[in-house]
Structure 1
Amino acid sequence: MKLEGLSENTSYYIRPYLKVGDKEYYGYAQQVKTLGAGKEYHPLDKDEAITDYDGYQLAWSDEFNIDGKPSNEWSYETGFVRNEELQWYQEKNASVSNGCLIIEGKKEKVVNPNYQAGSEDWKTNRNVAEYTSSSLTTQHSHVFKYGRFEVRAKLPSAEGSWPAIWTLGNTWDWPMNGEIDIMECYLVNGKRNILANACWSSPQQWVAVWNRSTTLLTHFIDRDADWMNKYHVWRMDWDASKICIYLDGELLNEINSSETQNQGWNGNTENPFSNDIDGFGHYILLNLAIGGNGGDPSNSLFPMRYEVDYVRVYQKK
């Protein structure tokens, strides 16, 4: 179906209709909103040059310009993974179309093959997942030590969505390996926030020390009512001394690496963001979680769409 004559940045309600013989059938009305004509509403053109930065060279990128499955440089998390979230992660919810990686959150049932009746483990005591999504990672293809990380993306706005751009260290268990949240979007005290965080290990196993930055989503929407319909650029500049995280050029958090030492669990006092360990690096994750800190998705429209235009990693020359 092709609709013509629609205005830009305008909401419409579409109700499917079918006539069979003398009977008429109507579906549920769906709200859709048209995009603007500007580049901020669309993925970059496939032939547009990759940005150059003085003092940096491009180490790796995925421009998502070939339709179909994401490249083999991405691997996938599977099943129930973390935070008692609602989604079952699976590869097929990720695809590339029209110059974008599309991660879809769907309301669909998946039988949990690991189900154990009476289990106290949240990963095994649910016999069915009610939602599905994808989580992609470069864990088995690319790890990086320092550099400029840049991701252009458009976020889902539905209640229950929890999109993220983040990194994990490839050495030691969490949180000793270090986590950097270049972007998370979820509820804090009942209000949606954009977060820019990092964590490392406390003296206790599985207990993290966090450096958090939370910015109310309204901080951005009050300046641009159409903010959620546009693509935005998240950037991390990371070197041996600090981690700086930006959104559209606005500094959200600056983390001093002198303060990020692991605090002694299992004898580990290394710094997961600044050290001289051979092979040390961080890999990238892109995922759309559902539920948990994202809120209650039960009244949201599905599928949810988290769109990533490109991922680029630059390193100093």
Structure 2
Amino acid sequence: MKKLTAALILLLSCQPVMAQQSNPFEPDFSEPEEITGMKLVWNDEFNTNGKPDPQYWRYEKGFVRNQETQWYQQDNATIKDGVLLIEGRKEAIKNPNYEAGSNDWRKNREYSEYTSSSIQTRGFKQFWFGRVEVRARIDTAMGSWPAIWTLGVSKPWPSNGEIDIMEFYRVKGVPTILANTAWGTETPYKARWDDQKIPLTHFTAKDKDWVKKFHIWRMDWDKDKINLYLDDELLNTTLLSETINADGSNGFLQEHYLLLNLAIGGVNGGKAVNNQIKYEVDYVRVYQKAD
């Protein structure tokens, strides 16, 4: 029996070790994947408890865009147990820019209804072409508007180019995953969009636990096109030959920086009803072609 046990141990020790699949309900603490022909140029695994690394991330503050409900502040972004948690909270924050009777939505609200966070790598980590992978779990509650996106460093929006690797909100009342690009037109601040809107049911019909799981959103970007994926399913392709601004420039032929944010309400999010909305980011990884 002892000899048989020893032989069995020897046999098992010679078997190839199979790669373990990460638990889709939990953070993934494994090392970044090696991709043939590419090198990892930057990543943040969000494995150190505390605040986002100030070498990589800066914060937006206040009422920023899209007539959104939330007040952006640092307090709502925290790293714990292997994930970056961006938390939307129902709470009133006094608006220091308040002006009674103002027509500016950023000034005519004395208090916020919600708070949240928006972080970005502008000035710290910028990239031109390559692959971006973000593993995240989103809250699909009413009012939730999480996003993974990039903006070009030069020219005003939208001529700088916008890539929405992931957005979620309700389109005509229907919970929807979006994968978009936008660029400039002859009218300032008016974008031309290549957008894809996929009802959430497209994913939940195949997996009843979809909303409880982490998923991998990916962008592959080269001189010819931008491909946007969700769990390896291609959602949208934008040809860069078609993204020419009115002045002849192309916002996708320059460096971009990354943004992670949880908006609430606004022009797309809908009226929030929960006191708390959570957006969890497990990691961000940026690859580029190996030399």
TM-score, normalising length: structure 2: 0.91
CA drift of 1:140 comes to 2.2
Q: Residue 309 of structure 1 corresponds to which residue in structure 2?
A: 282
Q: Using the alignment, how far apart are the partners of 1:140 and 1:101 within structure 2? A: 20
Q: Using the alignment, how far apart are the partners of 2:69 and 2:182 within structure 1? A: 24
User: Are 1:44 and 2:28 an aligned pair?
Assistant: yes
Q: Deviations over 1:181-228 (max 9, x none)?
A: 000001112101100000000100110000001100000000001100
Q: Using the alignment, how far apart are the partners of 1:70 and 1:231 within structure 2? A: 20
Q: Residue 290 of structure 1 corresponds to which residue in structure 2?
A: 264
Q: How does 1:88-167 map to 2 (within 5 A)?
A: 88-167=71-150
Q: Using the alignment, how far apart are the partners of 2:61 and 2:186 within structure 1? A: 30
Q: How does 1:4-43 map to 2 (within 5 A)?
A: 39-43=23-27
Q: Residue 241 of structure 2 corresponds to which residue in structure 1?
A: 258
Note the residue ranges of structure 2 that are not aligned, 5 or more in a row. 1-20
Q: Deviations over 1:255-305 (max 9, x none)?
A: 000000002xxxx2201112xxxxx300000000000211111x32x3211
CA drift of 1:159 comes to 0.7
Residue 92 of structure 1 aligns to a residue in which SS? helix
Residue 193 of structure 1 aligns to a residue in which SS? strand
Residue 113 of structure 1 aligns to a residue in which SS? coil
Q: How does 1:111-260 map to 2 (within 5 A)?
A: 111-260=94-243
Q: Look up the equivalent residue of 1:56 and give its one-letter code.
A: M
CA drift of 1:111 comes to 0.4
Residue 75 of structure 2 aligns to a residue in which SS? helix
Q: Using the alignment, how far apart are the partners of 2:170 and 2:277 within structure 1? A: 17
Using the aligned pairs only, state the percent identity.
53
Q: Using the alignment, how far apart are the partners of 1:171 and 1:269 within structure 2? A: 14
Residue 219 of structure 1 aligns to a residue in which SS? helix
Residue 109 of structure 1 aligns to a residue in which SS? coil
Q: Look up the equivalent residue of 2:245 and give its one-letter code.
A: N
Q: Look up the equivalent residue of 1:190 and give its one-letter code.
A: G
Cα contact 2:149–2:259 (8 A) shared by 1: yes
Q: Using the alignment, how far apart are the partners of 2:59 and 2:168 within structure 1? A: 21
User: Are 1:59 and 2:41 an aligned pair?
Assistant: yes
Q: Deviations over 1:57-94 (max 9, x none)?
A: 00100000100111111100000000000000001100
Q: Residue 273 of structure 1 corresponds to which residue in structure 2?
A: 252
Residue 52 of structure 1 aligns to a residue in which SS? coil
Q: Using the alignment, how far apart are the partners of 2:242 and 2:40 within structure 1? A: 29
CA drift of 1:241 comes to 0.3
Q: Using the alignment, how far apart are the partners of 2:170 and 2:242 within structure 1? A: 27
Cα contact 2:121–2:257 (8 A) shared by 1: yes
Q: Residue 87 of structure 1 corresponds to which residue in structure 2?
A: 70
Number of aligned positions between the proteins:
268
Q: Using the alignment, how far apart are the partners of 1:125 and 1:140 within structure 2? A: 31
CA drift of 1:38 comes to 6.8
Residue 258 of structure 1 aligns to a residue in which SS? helix
Q: Using the alignment, how far apart are the partners of 2:188 and 2:140 within structure 1? A: 35
TM-score, normalising length: structure 1: 0.83
Deviation beyond 3 Å, 4+ runs, structure 1: none
Q: Residue 32 of structure 1 corresponds to which residue in structure 2?
A: none
Q: Deviations over 1:34-72 (max 9, x none)?
A: xxx970000012xx2210111100010000010011111
Q: Deviations over 1:134-168 (max 9, x none)?
A: 00000020111000000000001211000000000
Residue 92 of structure 2 aligns to a residue in which SS? strand
Q: Look up the equivalent residue of 2:47 and give its one-letter code.
A: N
Cα contact 2:22–2:28 (8 A) shared by 1: no
